[in-house]
């Protein structure tokens, strides 16, 4: 079942890229494994997927211990990260997708022993329930991060409202894409900001058409027919 689902998602990625003349190699599939155990992750790994994301520190640490014999896994943290837990996880991940405050950045700077590749989280839709900076705050925030040599802003991250239409999704994703391009073009900081982490199981196809380079897919990989 997982094999069929993974094949389907990969095909959808290829199809979405083809629609806008993109190379599918530009898109990284991040398997969101927060709802499954390590055995499912091993199954995905054996099928060729080695990029996994978790959103809870305790679960990430437990799964890393259980998967210690899989050193080639690339670990992403996609959840809200409390400052008091930064020390527990920040040096154990490859990417952090939810940087949204200078206080959190300062704690990462204090605790990191190497450069941490981060996505700045942007609340494009303005939903009260979502974390993230307002779009108009992002440029000044990234300028402030130039003082933190342990943080590399590789790009921007967002979540579209779950119940939004495809047209609304496209509008939100396009707004983030435009913001990312503007920040990258400024060339007034050391932050590359070339990547876009956007698109989940219900909307990753639209996100790819707009320009997503990382899609965070969970339920589509594990759903049962």
Question: In the structure, what pLDDT confidence band is assigned to residue 156 with cuts at 50, 70 and 90?
Answer: very high
DSSP state, residue 208: H
Q: Round the average pLDDT of the chain to a whole number and report it.
A: 96
Question: In the structure, what pLDDT confidence band is assigned to residue 224 with cuts at 50, 70 and 90?
Answer: confident
Q: Do 170 and 203 meet the contact criterion of CB atoms below 8 Å apart? A: no
pLDDT over threshold 80, residue 127: yes
* pLDDT at residue 189, as a whole number: 63
The rounded percent of the chain whose pLDDT value lies above 70 is: 98
Could you tell me the fold of the domain covering 2-222?
Answer: TIM Barrel (3.20.20)
Averaged over 67-96, what is the pLDDT? Answer: 97
3-state secondary structure of 33: coil
Determine the Cα–Cα distance for residues 27 and 48; give it in Å rounded to an integer. Answer: 15
Run of H or E including 65: helix 57-66
Averaged over 192-217, what is the pLDDT? Answer: 97
Determine the Cα–Cα distance for residues 222 and 17; give it in Å rounded to an integer. Answer: 23
Q: Do 50 and 74 meet the contact criterion of CB atoms below 8 Å apart? A: yes
Q: Range with the lowest mean pLDDT among 19-23, 27-31, 182-186, 192-196?
A: 182-186
Distance (Å) of CA 69 to CA 48, 60, 148? 15, 15, 33
pLDDT over threshold 90, residue 150: yes
Q: Do 12 and 29 meet the contact criterion of CB atoms below 8 Å apart? A: no
157-177: pLDDT as tens digits:
999 999 999 999 999 999 999
Q: Do 35 and 218 meet the contact criterion of CB atoms below 8 Å apart? A: yes
For residue 162 the two structure tokens come to: 């779950």
pLDDT over threshold 60, residue 225: no
Averaged over 140-149, what is the pLDDT? Answer: 93
Distance (Å) of CA 41 to CA 45, 52, 100, 135, 168? 6, 8, 28, 35, 33
Question: In the structure, what pLDDT confidence band is assigned to residue 116 with cuts at 50, 70 and 90?
Answer: very high
pLDDT over threshold 90, residue 84: yes
Question: In the structure, what pLDDT confidence band is assigned to residue 37 with cuts at 50, 70 and 90?
Answer: very high
* pLDDT at residue 7, as a whole number: 98
Question: In the structure, what pLDDT confidence band is assigned to residue 97 with cuts at 50, 70 and 90?
Answer: very high
* pLDDT at residue 3, as a whole number: 97
DSSP state, residue 83: G
Domain boundaries, the chain: 2-222
Partners of 202 in beta bridges: none
DSSP state, residue 199: -
The rounded percent of the chain whose pLDDT value lies above 90 is: 93
Closest-CA residue to 145 (of 78, 182, 192) = 192
Distance (Å) of CA 42 to CA 60, 64, 70, 81? 15, 12, 8, 26
């Amino acid at each position: 079942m997982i094999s069929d689902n993974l094949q389907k998602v990969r095909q959808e990625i290829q199809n979405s890229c083809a629609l806008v003349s993109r190379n599918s190699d530009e898109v990284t599939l991040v398997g969101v494994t927060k709802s499954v155990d390590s055995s499912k992750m091993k199954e995905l790994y054996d099928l060729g997927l080695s990029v996994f994301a978790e959103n809870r520190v305790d679960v990430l640490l437990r799964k890393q211990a259980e998967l210690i014999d899989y050193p080639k896994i690339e670990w992403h943290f996609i959840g809200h990260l409390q400052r008091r837990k930064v020390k527990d996880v920040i040096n154990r991940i490859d990417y952090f997708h939810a940087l949204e405050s200078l206080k959190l950045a300062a704690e990462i700077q204090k605790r990191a022993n190497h450069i941490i590749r981060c996505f700045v989280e942007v609340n494009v839709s303005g939903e009260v329930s979502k974390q993230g900076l307002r779009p108009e705050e992002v440029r000044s925030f990234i300028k402030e991060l130039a003082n933190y040599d342990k943080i590399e802003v590789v790009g921007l991250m967002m979540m579209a409202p779950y119940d939004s239409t495809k047209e609304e999704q496209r509008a939100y994703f396009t707004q983030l894409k435009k913001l990312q391009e503007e920040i990258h073009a400024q060339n007034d900081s050391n932050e590359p900001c070339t990547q876009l982490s956007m698109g989940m199981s219900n909307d990753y196809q639209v996100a790819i058409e707009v320009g997503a380079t990382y899609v965070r897919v969970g339920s589509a990989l594990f759903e049962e027919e």
